[in-house]
Amino acid sequence: MRFNDRKKAFPVIAMICLLVLAMLASCAPAVDEEKEAEERRKAAALALLPAAESYFSEYDQTLKSRGYEGVTDGETLELEGFYFIYRDGAAVNISEEEYMQALAEKPVIKNVIFLIPDGAGFGTYDYANAYKQKFAATAVDGIVEGIKDTENSTMATVITTNAIENETVTSLYLDKYMIAHANTAMTHMADHSATDSAAAGTALLCGNKTDYTMTGVIADFTPVANLLEAARLDGKSTGFVTTKTLVDATPSTATVHVLRRPDQDNCAYQPDASRQLLNSLIDVELCYGSDGGYVKAALKYSDKLICNDDRAANHGYTVVEDLASLNQAVESGAKKLFSKFQIDYAKMIEAGRDLTKTNYNMTVDAWNTDYQGHHLLYDVDAEAGQDITLMDLAKSAIKVLDENIDNPNGFVLVIEGGAIDNAAEQRYVKEAVGDYLAFDEVFGYCVNYAKKRGDTIVVACPDHDSGGFYDPATQNTAPNRGNKLGKSFTDINSLCQALHDGVITDNTVVGGAAVGHSPQDVPVWLYAPETVREMILTKLGLPLDASAEKVRTGKFYDGSEFNEAYQINNSDIAHAICEAARITKLDVATSKLFVPVYDNNDQTKYSYGTYDEETETFTFTNGAKVTRNSRIYIGADGAEHEIKCGLPIYLTNPVSYKFEDGSGRKNAKKGEATAVFYVPLEVLDAIGVSPEK
């Protein structure tokens, strides 16, 4: 620019400067107001600092009572719109942006969803995965054609590719989240080559290996706390849903403590199991069975319907009996749910439903009695919107726990796809694969829920493998058994097509020699916020790059090799989950819930008081009384009180029980060496009794 041009520009520049000064002058009050607002904000934050310090101090004690070292740097708190972080032993006020960053680095986990596909090992998993991968290519609007039961009937649960937002998945949803393969061995395996569901469920949910058929109890006959009990100690809500009955083996390991699984013909244990169920304080208990369990008609015990709907209602539960009443209860805001779902098989068959009695382990006599069978309808037999499915149970439970209860402490929910086991044990490939695909949809639903929240862990692991489908060592061998005379498949593509076309006949078998449970490792899956996921992997001793491709190579139907770097014990999972969610450690929970006060085999061992077998009541020396499996106790002052967590249990083995006709007695098989009465520590504290060393 020439000099004269610049000279002409001076008046313009001056005018601009004057305008800027005027604007600055007009902004001065606003600047002052912003400064004053910031001073007020700092003052308000400073005023809240003692409350924040108090919170962190209390939280420190809470964590220590749960078995942890206490508050560590990075813990955050939101208080009346202000944000604080714990640093160097003190609460520090931070901005919202800093708070969000700290929360991302150290998320607060409120909820845990633990899914168990019973009996669902790698063989069944590979079948289901192959099916979805084959037919996902033909999906319309994210819907994959399901397995046909008959020419006119398909699965009740829709197979999808888009159940998780912002993802399109053409394999099982589970596939993306595989992190390990778990060893299912029991404490020792002298008597059995493979675990049963009771021992395996105790490993998964109590974090302890045990022996065959033992439920919530370890090999030395002492009880151990489960994940739901630990969560309730922390004030969390809890739930268990299953397509089987609540006194079946796997559900029992999250709800009761008995020396032998109470299901089927083990009636001697069902009274204890049923009472513990009703008094457990579990908020949601949804299952198959009109009394929460089942009893063979050939057996008898004194209180057959001890867990029936009337008693559940008396314990504060809203009792539901079909899909319509379940939906109504959930939508009306019910906070405690108990089910008495029962299937009238004969009526359904009369109405034209194509059900095969043998596929439900039903004899002709049992079919026509009150014996309830084992589980809800297989998904390929169920009709959407009419028959209850695992997805119906899962959605209902999550809505009740999350929205209806809305507990600020969060919840822990266990979901079991129980019928996979029944089908796989008998090599009913159509039913096994159908229920596996339905379970996978439930897993996808839970992961989608967790991703939207950011404070929820979803973990899944089978209790054991069943069926040994396509065991690599015997993949070309189909057993020729009397009740397994259907067509044999050794080609996966042909099998998937047959499932799709609905031409699989009853009792179809597939390659492999094992029938029933097998000792194979089982897959483990995990979704958690990234930093929490890394912490869980580290706790489990797994590499941080854990994925399906790393865990193993190949498939069971064409040979599969496992990477030993990704093997864990099934009993390690619950401990890692507790630590990630800061749930009371399971050994600490055990010490709080089960204090031994009486040993019938050595009555001089403890000096707390005496036990009356007739009334099932333990009386302390100061006059306080507790009754077996009851939440009500009598204090030394004679007044009634309620136990907040836990139950007094008498862990013993009933001597025998009678058959229906009164002839003969069947001796219990385990635990004859123990007869110990346990009381929660909170009772001892309340009545002023110190635990004996």
Question: Is pLDDT larger for residue 239 or for residue 297?
Answer: 239
From 331, 307, 327, select the one nearest 317 (Cα to Cα).
Answer: 307
Q: What is the per-residue pLDDT for 448? A: 98
**3 pLDDT more than 50:** no
Predicted confidence (pLDDT) per residue in 368-401, tens digit: 444 445 688 899 989 999 999 999 999 999 999 9
pLDDT at 534 over 50: yes
| CATH number among 3.40.720.10, 3.30.1490.20, 1.10.3720.10, 3.40.50.970, domain 111-590 | 3.40.720.10
Q: Which two tokens stand for residue 587?
A: 């050994």
Q: Quick one: tokens of 182?
A: 């778990």
**Residue 83 main-chain phi, psi, to 5 deg:** -125, 140
Q: Where would I find the beta strands (DSSP E) of 33-190?
A: 76-79, 82-87, 90-94, 111-117, 143-144, 148-150, 153-154, 159-160, 178-183
Q: What is the mean pLDDT of residues 529-540?
A: 97
Checking if the pLDDT of 264 tops 70, the result is: no
What pLDDT score was predicted for residue 426? Answer: 76
Q: Where are the domains of the chain?
A: 3-105, 111-590, 594-687
Report whether 328 contacts 345 (CB < 8 A): no
pLDDT at 666 over 50: no
51-110: pLDDT as tens digits: 999 999 999 999 999 999 999 999 999 998 999 999 999 999 999 999 999 999 999 999
**Those residues with Cβ within 8 angstroms of residue 485's Cβ, 6 or more apart along the chain or in another chain:** 507
Tell me the C-alpha to C-alpha distance, in Å, between residue 208 and each of 465, 491, 539.
19, 39, 16
The tokens 């009356």 sit on which residue?
A: 612
Q: What pLDDT score does 502 carry?
A: 87
Output the 3-class SS for 154-219: ECCCCEECCCCCCCCCCCCHHHHCEEEEEECCCCCCCCCCCCCHHHHHHHHHHCCCCCCCCECECC
Contact present, 650 and 676 (Cβ < 8 Å): yes
Q: What is the mean pLDDT of the chain?
A: 83
Q: Strand pairing partners for 484?
A: 481
Distance CA 157, CA 319 (A): 24
- The pLDDT assigned to 595 comes to 97
CA distances from 201 to 183, 243, 248, 419 (A): 13, 16, 11, 15
Evaluate if residue 24 carries a pLDDT over 60: no
Dihedral, CA of residue 307, residue 312, residue 314 and residue 318, to nearest 10: -170
The total of other beta-carbon atoms located within 10 Å of residue 640's CB is: 9
Looking at mean pLDDT, say which of 45-54, 500-509, 554-563, 579-588 comes out highest: 579-588
Q: Give the C-alpha distances (Å, rounded to integers) separating 281 from 215, 232, 233, 331.
A: 19, 8, 11, 22
Tokens 């899956």: give the residue: 525
> Which of 123-137, 358-372, 377-391 is predicted with the least confidence, judged by mean pLDDT?
358-372
- The segment with the largest mean pLDDT, out of 106-120, 149-163, 301-315, 416-430, is 106-120
Structure tokens at 536: 């869980």
Neighbours of 667 (CB within 10 A): 11
CA–CA separation, 442 and 195 (whole Å): 26
Residue 442 pLDDT exceeds 50:
yes
The pLDDT, as a whole number, for residue 564 is 96
pLDDT at 506: 56
Distance between CA 353 and CA 378 in Å, rounded? 13
**Distance separating alpha carbons of residues 568 and 181, to the nearest angstrom:** 6
Q: Residue 476: pLDDT above 80?
A: no
Please give the average per-residue pLDDT across 448-453, as a whole number. 97
- The per-residue pLDDT for 494 is 83
What does the pLDDT read at residue 26?
A: 54
Distance CA 508, CA 506 (A): 6
Cβ neighbours of 264 (radius 10 Å):
18
Q: Which residues pair with 414 in a beta bridge?
A: 114, 240
Kindly state the average pLDDT of the residues 363-371: 44
Q: What is the pLDDT of residues 186-197, one digit of tens each?
A: 775 444 567 888
Higher pLDDT, 198 or 624: 624
CA distances, 126 to each of 468, 496, 546, 554, 584 (Å):
12, 11, 19, 10, 36
- pLDDT at residue 226 in the model: 97
Q: Give the three-class secondary structure for 123.
A: helix
